[in-house]
Amino acid sequence: MARRRDAVCDAGHPPMAGRSGADYHRRVMDMTPPADAGNPPPFEIVPGDPARGIVLTCDHAENCLPARYGTLGLGPEALARHIAWDPGARAVTLALAGRLGAPAVLSRFSRLLIDPNRGRDDPTLVMRISDRAPIPGNLAVDETERAARIARYYAPYDDAIARTIDGALATGTVPAIVAIHSFTPVWRGRGRPWQVGVLWDADPRLAVPLIDALRSPGDLVVGDNEPYDGALAGDALYRHATRRGLPHALVELRQDLIADDAGVEDWTDRLAAILTALDDRPGIREIRHFGSRTGPVSPI
């Protein structure tokens, strides 16, 4: 199959980086729903402690595709690229979940199949062209196929996040939602200066102190809504945090920095220490609605 040899969806997972190790691996597999007709289930859950006050998500964890879609007409090089997934993000998410004892929800399908970090009506939900590369298997996607991908992959992952947040709220603790992503060090021929970016919309409660803490040692170039703007109506944090009034931030890590175990460990250390220090920040354990820079929000 044209996919990274270690990005295995249908034959078990590679060993995890970080200290969480086999115990978390086993728990992940225990909680993951059974595969459907030989295809990998569309998400995995690390149960963690629902009262921990943090829920981690990883929208672009893997670059694999259900068997029925083959490779979407792409070669192995294309599927290994950032257009298919966020390399390193899954390893950081799992290691961070282990370190913090926090629940995590991770997708198990390539963003090229359908992007769970887009709204259901977003024109880029199923990309026909990504970073100038046409996606042959997406060129003829019609409304029926789009609805099928939503039902089989997008919605189950989305529901898993909602249920995990519900479980956290049921403990009486308002969780902060932290989405882990990674970005390519070079974009269209230009190097990117940031090692890490924090994306956010209008709720500053987690994002601003997170940026301050990352900048504090003075050894990092930290993007504030770079390399992307975090205000995107319908994206995953909009759906699960902005609309619910939950504190949140999206963390973008540069892919070359989390390409091996040492890098994953380093970023797990940094983020775990900072997120733990923010646990008791005033206002972080409250449901509060800050709206969105994108326009009116319908709270849920």
Residues in contact with Zn ion by CB under 5 A are: 60, 86, 181
Q: What is the DSSP string of 135-196?
A: -GGGTT--HHHHHHHIIIIIHHHHHHHHHHHHHHHHTT-PPEEEEEEEE-SEETTEE---SE
Taking the complex as a whole, how short is the minimal distance between the CB of residue 266 and Zn ion, in angstroms?
A: 20
Cα torsion for 152, 233, 124, 61, to the nearest 10°? -60
Q: How far apart are CA 267 and CA 184, in angstroms?
A: 16
d(CA 15, CA 212): 33
Query: CB of 201 within 8 A of CB of 242?
Result: yes
**Residue 61 vs 97, nearer CB to Zn ion:** 61
Write down the least CB distance from residue 240 to Zn ion, Å. Answer: 15
**Spatial CA neighbour of 14 closest among 36, 32, 29:** 29
Backbone angles phi, psi at 297, to 5 degrees: -115, 135
Tell me whether residue 3 or residue 60 sits nearer to Zn ion (CB atom): 60
Q: CB 59 → Zn ion: shortest distance, Å?
A: 6
Which pair of structure tokens corresponds to residue 17? 């980086």
Which of 241, 284 has the CB closer to Zn ion?
241
* Nearest approach, Cβ of residue 131 and Zn ion (Å): 13
**CA separation (Å) from 43 to 11, 36, 85, 86, 153?**
15, 12, 14, 15, 8
Least CB distance to Zn ion at residue 254 (A) = 12
- State which residue, 199 or 284, has the beta carbon closest to Zn ion: 199
Q: Residues 105, 58: contact at Cβ < 8 Å?
A: yes
Residue 56 C-beta: closest distance to Zn ion, Å? 14
Shortest CB 274 distance to Zn ion, Å: 20
Q: Of the two residues 181 and 254, which places its CB atom closer to Zn ion in the complex?
A: 181
Region for 213 from its dihedrals, namely left if φ exceeds 0, alpha if ψ lies in -120 to 50, beta otherwise: alpha
Structure tokens at 135: 């996606």
Sign of CA dihedral 179, 180, 183, 185: positive
Q: What is the smallest separation between the CB atom of 297 and Zn ion, expressed in angstroms?
A: 22
- Which residue's CB comes closest to Zn ion? 181
Nearer to Zn ion, 20 or 93 (CB): 93
- Smaller CB distance to Zn ion: residue 60 or 205? 60
Query: Cα-Cα-Cα-Cα dihedral of 62, 203, 53, 300, to 10°?
Result: -80
Query: Based on CB atoms, which residue is closest to Zn ion, 80 or 174?
Result: 80
